Structure 1
Amino acid sequence: MSTGPIHAFLAGTGRDGARRTLADVVAFDDARIEGVHDFVQWCFPLSEASRAVPGAPVLGSEEADAIRADPIAQEGLRSALARMTEFYTRTDGWLRAYDHNHLRITRILAATRRLLGPDEAAAFHAFVTKRNEDAGSPVNADSLRYWGSALRDA
């Protein structure tokens, strides 16, 4: 049984604030991933309010515990992580000095570390930093520091 709306969403039994299921979001094409800005907070929840999307859910400690204890919610989070990895593999628009995706990546790293563990967060971090390096390192140093901090500050 779910302990909150984020848990239900990640477990595939709930809907986000726009009435989408996790399966709906994971099925987004790359243009929708890039252009829609209110799904990331549901897929990768944090314990602080989003400044980019007012009204987005905030992850409480009980709900975080429930997600960590639920293999179905864990797999839901992994499917969202896999979709974002696919997006960052196939697209290059985020590989520039400043881009909203840099904030998304920080969120993904922090949520992944807290809910799936440091190894999965470190693997995603290694992936995005390698993509950046392979593109000539266009991402600004502040974003890179935030990404590193997200691995340490869960």
Structure 2
Amino acid sequence: MSSSTSQSASPTNKIISFYDPQISAPDHADRTLDSILNWPDPRLEQSHNYIQVLFPLPEGSPYNSQAPIVTEEVFHAFRERSELRSQLNKSFERICRFYGFEATTGEVKEEERAVKLTLAQDHEDAFQNWFCSFDHNHLRLTRILRSLRVLGLEAEAAALWTMLQRVCAEKPGVVSKKSRMFWRRAAERELHVPPDVDEVTEETGEGWLREWVGRQAGAQEQKVENRAEKEGSGKGKDATL
């Protein structure tokens, strides 16, 4: 096995085995998912190398060289296996509590489910960690939004983005425009485009993810065309009655 193949396989195994409830493998720092989720808020604030493990991305981290990378295999594993998404949902609910939100989510096996965020009773204390002009937690929130979408928890990402917009609208001017721009990009851009890219080209993002986005767009267009043809033929039939 070549060194390049070995390097690409390592992060793949780390992400899946870390989130697989039947394996519960530790991360590079010998921490399991459950152990991290049981940390108190002060430790979640002070530690800086766990967020990349809980919410991995297809892009590398400039702050953690050991951060696992989402490959095509990991991408499809999370979208095909509800137990992986259920575990990721635990990370989402825990990090929401850290930021002062309470999450109510449905079964991740359902394609369409309700995900709702509300302000926690102690949200004002939690807001001291991040509700300001700029903070390292703003970078974390950008990562979380993108990671949730990449790994199949689009509803959770949308709910978090909605809550962030609500909080910022209630007290405008607190969070910087730059941070809000990155949150919007992470929540709304096409999935293959990272939020830190200013000029988007045909080569932007991982090739396998660009291809997946293209296939999804093509399938959606075909679905719309099929629906239009069906409605058109139905109208024609009605007109001949």
Larger radius of gyration: 2
TM-score w.r.t. structure 1 length?
Answer: 0.91
2:78 corresponds to which of 64, 67, 75: 67
Find the aligned partners of 2:141 and 2:183 in 1 and give their Cα distance: 7
Written as runs of structure 1 = structure 2, the 5 A alignment for 1:75-94 is 75-89=86-100, 90=123, 91-92=126-127, 93-94=129-130
Cα deviations across residues 4-59 of structure 1 (Å, max 9, x unaligned)?
A: 11111122421111111100111111001101111111111101110111221111
Residue 18 of structure 2 is aligned to residue 9 of structure 1: yes
Letter in structure 2 aligned against 1:11: D
Is 1:47 matched up with 2:83? no
Matches within 5 A, 1:1-154: 4-12=13-21, 13-89=24-100, 90=123, 91-92=126-127, 93-153=129-189, 154=191
Q: Contact 1:95–1:135 at 8 Å: present in 2 too?
A: no
Contact 2:59 2:69 in 1 (8 A): yes
Amino acid at match of 2:40: D
Shift of 1:137: 4.2
Q: Distance in 2 between matches of 1:79 and 1:69?
A: 18
Cα root mean square deviation, aligned? 1.5
| Bigger share in strand | 2
Q: Residue 17 of structure 2 aligns to which amino acid in structure 1?
A: A
For 2:167 and 2:43, how far apart are their aligned partners in 1? 21
For normalisation by structure 2, the TM-score amounts to 0.60
Q: Which runs of 5+ in 2 are unaligned?
A: 1-11, 101-122, 192-241
Gaps of 5+ in 1: none
The worse-fitting range, judged by mean Cα deviation, of 123-132 and 12-21 is: 123-132
The CA deviation at 1:129 is 2.6
- Cα displacement (A) at 1:68: 1.8
Deviations 1:81-127 (A, max 9, x none): 00111010041220011100000000000010111243221101112
Distance 2:93 2:158 in 1: 14
What CA distance in whole angstroms lies between the structure 2 residues aligned with 1:28 and 1:44? 16
8 Å Cα contact 2:78/2:152 also seen in 1? no
Give the deviation of 1:143 after TM superposition: 0.9
Higher relative contact order (CA 8 A, sep 6+): 1
How many aligned positions are there? 152
Please tell me whether the aligned partners of residues 88 and 128 of structure 1 are also in contact (alpha carbons under 8 angstroms).
no
Distance 2:31 2:54 in 1: 11
